[in-house]
Structure 1
Amino acid sequence: MAGFSNYFVVEFIGAVFALICAAYIYLKYVAYKYWSWKNIDFAKPVVPLGNLWPVVSVSTSIGELFRDIYLEFRKSRVVGVYMFHKPALVVNDPDVIRFILTKQFANFHDRGVYCNEKVDPLSGHLFSIPGAKWKFLRTKFSPTFTSSKMKQMFFTVQECSEKMVEFVSPLAKNRELIEVKDLVARFSTDVIASVAFGVQCNSIENPNAEFRSYGRKVFRPKPWINIVGLLAPSLLNVFSISSVDADVEKFFLSAFMETVEYRTANKVARKDFLDLIIQLMNKGYIENDDKKLSQLSEFDSQKITALEGAAQAFVFWLAGFETSSSTVTNCLYELALHQDIQDKVAEEANRVLGESGGMSYNGVKEMRYLYKVVSETLRKYPAVPILNRECTAEIDLPETGLHVEKGTAIIVPVYGLHNDPEIYPDPEKFDPERFTEENIAGRHPYAYLPFGEGPRNCIGMRFGLVQTQVALASLLSKYRFMPGPDFKVPMVLDRGNVGVSPAGGMTLRIELR
């Protein structure tokens, strides 16, 4: 009997070894020949991860990987890469990028990232959802980010910024060290929790507030999930793996549903993002003084479901929280290094605040130098370092000689474009003057893509910018930031997350102006 068992063990090991050998041969001599057969330049892959080993081993970030591929092959309009076993196309040329993102959007309307509403209902949001449902939700939610709606939500941003300024006052009086990344994350948490979930969590005063705790959990480094969800989502779908932990999903769904039920039962109306979601759930449209009931179409009356509403609140929280907090943190890092630029921002902020009688939506728009500084921060440290698209209908790419097949993953290397010395001379230098009207006009419009472009650009771009600018203007008008004792130049990046942000926080010294 023992001999019989040993025989089967040997047979099993032999079969596994044969499968591994077959897989290796297939990948090396078939799958990884795809771009050679297409006569396209490509980055050399390694079996079985393709070009992803540096990210999987956390020796580099996703943004850095594609930045380096871009810089190595920037003379090529397109570059082939391999995401595990699948070929993908990195698009370097701004004209081809415009063709994909805008001109021929119909052939590239999906991101091709992870979305599985059955396993992970919170994944069914505007960032990831494909096809007709994306178009339906995008059309429904576009009116939520008009100037008038932004002004209605501005009070919440202003109120949270005042609490942040008050909180750091005693620290500034004593010239203490402050963990900027955590402080700004708590500010962003308070803004988004209030605007998107109707919850006053006060994490500025209470760092252990529930929303802040779950925020840390959502954004803790998850290299494998991040890589697979962005670049090989089919693997998550095959194994029915959720990108969101079960307790996180339960918390956000409960927070959303409970507030919706309370507001509905008590007829509570607040001029915030959640109120607009409730309107879409109850009526199918957002009230607009310019549109009469008699003008409403059949599409207007189509309502969204509660789960669809919860998913949009969740992605609004994700995007508004992470992008704004990382951008403010990265900006303060650069301003601590460049005190002359910091002084110019402070002078402008105090002048405008004095003329406006305090913080206001229109006043923030008048802070043009601050806008340049934020733009240069997003140039050097883009919150979203790559853009994903998927070819949804085969097409020829102009000036490349390439026929792109349906299902091909497309990657736009934003971090690479933003660090191209031929587009941005001396790219490591922090220079807000790159964003004068003259310099902007002299560059290709698709060489600067912090919020994407085309019909699938970031719908909450303006809200994110306002939130970022208010935080910076509020802090810099009263306080000066200087390097702390563990300040590192250049910045050491967190390679476990998708965005471009400092590893291990950002400690700066703060003092009164």
Structure 2
Amino acid sequence: MKKMYPRIRECLTDFMNHLESFAINEKEMNAKDMYGNYTMDVIATCAFATKTGAHNTLDSPFVVMARSVFNVHPLRQILNFICPIFLLKLITPTNTRNFFIDNTREIIQERRKSNKKYNDFLQLLMDVERDRDNSRDENDINESHHVNEGEEELVAERKALNISLDNKRLTEDEILAQAFVFFLAGFETTATTLTFCTYELALNPHIQRHS
């Protein structure tokens, strides 16, 4: 997961540059929307290997589809509690879900053809999916561990890693599901939490000075 930090920092740099434009022009901003764009950019970069440019391109397909997931009509929220699951499936639009699944499947196929490695969440899932008949090479194993670990600890973890991979492999459907859940779990929750934290810091400037 540490290998994703540079990607996250790139998204954070874009976010800070966008915030700076508001500060320079002394303009008001919608904190929830701003943090939503930031979390969307991070998730798209780390999970879907996609740069959304969410701060400047609000009409991109990824941004539009991502926001539609959480733009739920109040009536639909009520139906979630009173309708059987099979009926909900019939009345639930599938275009958003299909968009993310099809995009992820296309990325997986392209990576299999090119055989290139990427430092993102999707690549981690694909590594677990790979058939154990084609065992992980030494470079893969080294990348999965911290470089400052002791030799004995490293050997023990290698054995544990090999055993766990022998016993379990992810299917492509599981990879697609994990990537979609990664987005669902991280987008709205993170943006809301960051917005609330910012609000509290604005009300309590002395806390900012302590940090």
Q: In which range does the TM-score fall when normalised by the shorter chain? A: 0.7 to 0.9
CA displacement at 1:322 relative to structure 2: 1.1
TM-superposition CA deviations, 1:163-190 (whole Å, max 9, x none)? 1111121220121111111111111111
Q: Select the residue among 195, 200, 204 that pairs with 1:329.
A: 195
1:256 to 101, 104, 119: 104
CA drift of 1:228 comes to 5.2
User: How far is 1:264 from its partner?
Assistant: 1.2
- Which structure dedicates a bigger proportion of its chain to helix? 2
2:115 is aligned to: 267
Shift of 1:244: 5.5
Q: Identify if the C-alpha distance between structure 1 residues 294 and 192 changes in structure 2 by more than 3 Å, giving closer, same or farther.
A: closer
Q: Which residue of 2 aligns with 1:501?
A: none
The answer to whether residue 163 in structure 2 is matched with residue 315 in structure 1 is: no
CA 1:304–1:325 in structure 2 vs 1: closer, same or farther (change >3 Å)?
A: same
What is the alpha-carbon distance in structure 2 between the residues aligned to residue 333 and residue 295 of structure 1? Answer: 46
Look up the match of 1:159.
Answer: 10
Q: 2:44 aligns with which of 181, 193, 213?
A: 193
Cα 1:266–1:324 shift into 2, 3 Å: same
**What residue is the counterpart of 1:457 in the other structure?**
none
1:178 equivalent to 2:26? Answer no
What TM-score do the two structures reach when normalised by structure 2? 0.79
Could you say which residue in structure 1 is the equivalent of 2:150? none
8 Å Cα contact 1:189-1:321 kept in structure 2: yes
The alpha-carbon distance between structure 1 residues 225 and 199, as it changes in their structure 2 partners (threshold 3 A), is same
Distance 1:266 1:336, change over 3 A: same
Q: Distance in 2 between matches of 1:166 and 1:243?
A: 42
Cα distance in structure 2, aligned partners of 1:210 and 1:161: 22
Preserved contact between residue 236 and residue 242 of structure 1 (Cα < 8 Å): no
Query: In the comparison of the two structures, how many residue pairs are matched?
Result: 192
Runs of 5+ unmatched residues, structure 2:
146-156
Change (3 A) 1:342 1:252: same
Which residue of 2 is the match for residue 23 of structure 1? none
| Alignment TM-score, normalising by the size of structure 1 | 0.35
Equivalent-residue separation in structure 1 for 2:90 and 2:120 (angstroms): 29
- Residue 158 (structure 2) pairs with residue 291 (structure 1): yes
More strand by share: 1
How far 1:306 moved relative to its partner?
Answer: 1.4
Query: Aligned-pair distance for 1:250?
Result: 1.6
- Quick one: which amino acid aligns to residue 220 of structure 1? N
Provide the secondary structure at the position in 2 that maps to 1:190: helix
Shift of 1:238: 3.8
Q: Counterparts of 2:74 and 2:128 in 1: how far apart (Å)?
A: 35
Partner SS, residue 296 of structure 1: helix
Q: Secondary structure at the match of 2:116?
A: coil
Counterparts of 1:296 and 1:174, CA distance in 2: 57
CA distance in 1, matches of 2:52, 2:91: 25
What percentage of aligned pairs have identical amino acids?
Answer: 29
What is the CA deviation profile of residues 314-363 of structure 1, one whole-angstrom value per residue up to 9, with x for unaligned ones?
1101111111111111111222222222343xxx3xxxxxxxxxxxxxxx
Unaligned runs of 5+ in 1: 1-148, 349-513
Determine which of 170, 177, 180 is the counterpart of 1:304: 170
- Residue 91 of structure 1 corresponds to which residue in structure 2? none
User: What whole-Å deviation, never above 9, does each CA across 1:105-137 have from its counterpart, x for those lacking one?
Assistant: xxxxxxxxxxxxxxxxxxxxxxxxxxxxxxxxx
SS of the residue corresponding to residue 201 of structure 2 reads: helix
What does the per-residue CA deviation read over 1:363-405, in whole Å, with 9 as the maximum and x for residues that have no partner? Answer: xxxxxxxxxxxxxxxxxxxxxxxxxxxxxxxxxxxxxxxxxxx
Over residues 471-505 of structure 1, what are the superposed CA-to-partner deviations in whole Å (9 max), with x where a residue is unaligned? Answer: xxxxxxxxxxxxxxxxxxxxxxxxxxxxxxxxxxx
Q: Is the 8 A contact 1:189 1:211 kept in 2?
A: no
1:72-115 CA distances to partner (integer Å, 9 max, x unpaired)?
Answer: xxxxxxxxxxxxxxxxxxxxxxxxxxxxxxxxxxxxxxxxxxxx
Aligned residue identity for 1:203:
A
* Counterpart contact for 1:283–1:301, Cα < 8 Å: no
Where 1:327 maps in the other structure, the secondary structure is helix
Distance 2:91 2:3 in 1: 33
**Aligned mates of 1:159, 1:336 — CA distance in 2:** 26
Query: How far did 1:226 drift?
Result: 3.9
Q: Distance in 1 between matches of 2:162 and 2:89?
A: 44
The 5-angstrom pairing of residues 21-100 of structure 1 reads: none
C-alpha deviation, 1:240, in angstroms: 5.3
- Higher Rg of the two aligned structures: 1
Match of 2:152 in 1: none
Secondary structure in structure 2 of the residue aligned to 1:178: coil
Q: Contact 1:181–1:326 (CA<8 Å) still a contact in 2?
A: yes
Using CA pairs under 8 Å that are at least 6 residues apart, name the structure with larger relative contact order, 1 or 2: 2
8 Å Cα contact 1:185-1:322 kept in structure 2: yes
Are the aligned partners of 1:218 and 1:244 in contact in 2 as well (CA < 8 Å)? no
Aligned-residue CA RMSD (Å): 2.7
Letter in 1 for 2:37: R
The alpha carbon displacement at 1:301 in A equals: 4.3
